[in-house]
Amino acid sequence: MNKKEAQKRIKELKEITAYHAKRYYDDDNPEISDFEYDMLMLELKNLEKEHPDLITVDSLTQHVGGTVKEGFEKVEHEVPLQSLQDIFDFEELYAFDERVQKVIENNIENNNQIQFEMPNTENSIENKVKYVVETKIDGLSVALEYKNGIFVRGATRGNGLVGEDITENLKTIKNIPKKLKEPIDIIVRGEVFIGKNEFEKMNQEREENEESLFANARNAAAGSLRQLDSKIAGSRPLDIYIFNVQKSDTVKFTSHLESLDYLEKIGFNVNPVKILCNNISETIEEINKIGDNREKLDFGIDGAVIKVDNLNFRDILGTNYKTPKWAIAYKYPPEQKETLLKDITFQVGRTGAITPMAILEPVKVAGSTISKTTLHNEDFIKEKDLKIGDTVIIQKAGDVIPEVVRVVKEKRTGTEKQISMPNKCPVCGADAIREEGESAVRCIGIECPAKQYRNIIHFASRDAMNIKGLGDSIIEELLNRKLIFNIADLYSLSLEDIASLKKNGQKFAQNLIDSINESKNNDLYRLINGLGIRHIGSKAAKQLAKRYHTMEELQKASLESLILIDDMGEIMAESVFDFFAQEQTKDLIEKLKKAGLNMNSQEISNNDERFKDMIFVLTGGLESYSRKEAEEIIENFGGKTSSSVSKKTTYVLAGEDGGSKLTKAQSLGIKIINEQEFISMIK
């Protein structure tokens, strides 16, 4: 490639890699596989090596990807958190070993800086340089800082020099010790990850909740840790393995393996795969062993890390602008296999999302026999140009999820069949629709058996019908025992039905029956919310009840009249209209009427709209009102509430411990009022 062509390609590669690095490091939502990204970076490195005068500081070969996310405090790393040079074959590993041996040998011969204890029979430099081989865990790299044995701060790698302070999120990880067994000052580096089984469970739950699936375990871990709300991190199955001492003011070490053993002794969860090798041949043997057994590990890896064990040697070898010269990462290529896409089935999730599943000719990939895999959605099928009868290439992404990579189009015979998403639910026969701007096709049948568990949970929730005592496990048991099949069946449950769920359950049963009967008197907006109409929450349900007053009038509402409601919008209006047009909806509402549920709005019209066109943000705890009560008062006076402060905010109502919303309001010049001022405004 001549210089002009190289310059053009380097420019393209810098733009492409910068885009995908942002998706990976900053957005935690990659569009391509790690292997594809690695190949782009390898091409860029090779071109820059051929044309060093074309290297610029904005190239990702010159710095670590990643920036500090808005909302986090910056942390300057005392010791940079560098990345590793990636290699993809053993020839490169031999070259790495040759460089290491040469530098150490020259330094010893020329400067005699390092003294060695050497048996007389072992006088080759190869016997002095030993390597530790570790698994390259697929997660998010972090630094943990301890003072006098107490965990004081944790940060992401960021760009290697500056990271994000995520201390509160890291404190939610049980395997990060809050206090060490010895009162030392130390900074260690580790990898936060999510185990394979936990990742599968989490993605399954997200699919059931109609949330987007994580592409791989690394992004799940990174996305969890880079949340401003530590409760989100606390709800995720995060784990950590420590793999390096960054700085130690109290204890000194001579070898890497010695330091890892010490870290384990004082309470750290250290990478369990750490093998000392006497030479490069042993190192390659261990890399191959890890590769052969990677599917047996309960955490995802994408390579093996090779580190010089002697810490004095590390000092001699040093580092460059981005990577240490004493370590390197061997990346395993993803194992791919060819198989036949025999058929398509469609699964209906608990929230109605219809997912196409590929039925495959069984094939063994990365230690697992794969016979089916998700095709995600209609867009994925079109993007890959998949057809029934195609020969396809599959691989396991992140060692966990099998995925279809591409079609082997040259093997098509002309007998392949197009794949079409259903327009009717395969379980209940109700309409299956895909809304504009969304990728999923969904069943909108309120009585669909596949959706009943989630439907009933929502119906009984506090913001809907508020049926106390009807928890998730009770609902699941009622469904499993076939005591209920849908929402309306709750109102025909007997005392004996419920009592049979628990030992000595008479009192529990009576309380639940009382709560179910009490819910019959709820206001109309609660029932509307409880029906689980897509895009319609508590606020929109109140608007609908306020506009139509009765369930009968709402059922007859035209699409045009729905669109005209304040803050409703076309998508929400269409969702309501389509929902009430379904026969299943009409059937369910008729059953609820017969069960005695209130179908009328009980709200008394309030002509006082003193808060019209005003937006309130509530923060902190109030003494006289709950958050919900204060919001209802504001809405009754024609105002609106929001969860975030913006330039459109009229007032921030601040109670005790107001937090970051107060700071944001002050920076934007938004008026902040206390509880007493609010009470004066509503008198």
Structure tokens at 380: 């994925």
Burial 423-436 (b: 16+ CB within 10 A, else e): eebebbebbbbbbe
* Cα distances (angstroms) measured from residue 674 to each of 112, 522, 624, 649, 657: 72, 32, 12, 15, 12
Residue 403's identity, in one-letter code, is E
Residue 634's identity, in one-letter code, is I
- Cα distance between residue 93 and residue 330, in whole Å: 8
651-654 and 615-619: which strand pairing? parallel
* Cα distances (angstroms) measured from residue 181 to each of 148, 178, 248, 252, 269: 10, 10, 15, 17, 13
Structure tokens at 58: 């904005």
Structure tokens at 416: 């392949």
The CB density around residue 5, as the number of other CB atoms within 10 Å, is 10
On whether the CB atoms of residues 62 and 321 are closer than 8 A, the answer is: yes
- DSSP 3-state assignment of 621? strand
- Cα distance between residue 39 and residue 197, in whole Å: 29
651-654 and 671-673: which strand pairing? parallel
What does the chain come to in residues?
683
On whether the CB atoms of residues 453 and 476 are closer than 8 A, the answer is: yes
- Closest to 431 measured CA to CA, from 444, 449, 420, 441: 444
- Annotated catalytic sites, by residue? 136
Distance of CA 54 to the CA centre of its chain: 38
- Cα distance between residue 517 and residue 512, in whole Å: 9
Place of tokens 């003494």: 623
Q: What's the burial of 494, exposed, middle or buried (CB within 10 Å: 0-12/13-18/19+)?
A: exposed
The CB density around residue 598, as the number of other CB atoms within 10 Å, is 18
On whether the CB atoms of residues 542 and 639 are closer than 8 A, the answer is: no
Helix axes 452-460, 472-480, angle to 10 degrees: 140
On whether the CB atoms of residues 280 and 131 are closer than 8 A, the answer is: yes
On whether the CB atoms of residues 121 and 292 are closer than 8 A, the answer is: no
On whether the CB atoms of residues 359 and 372 are closer than 8 A, the answer is: yes
The CB density around residue 624, as the number of other CB atoms within 10 Å, is 11
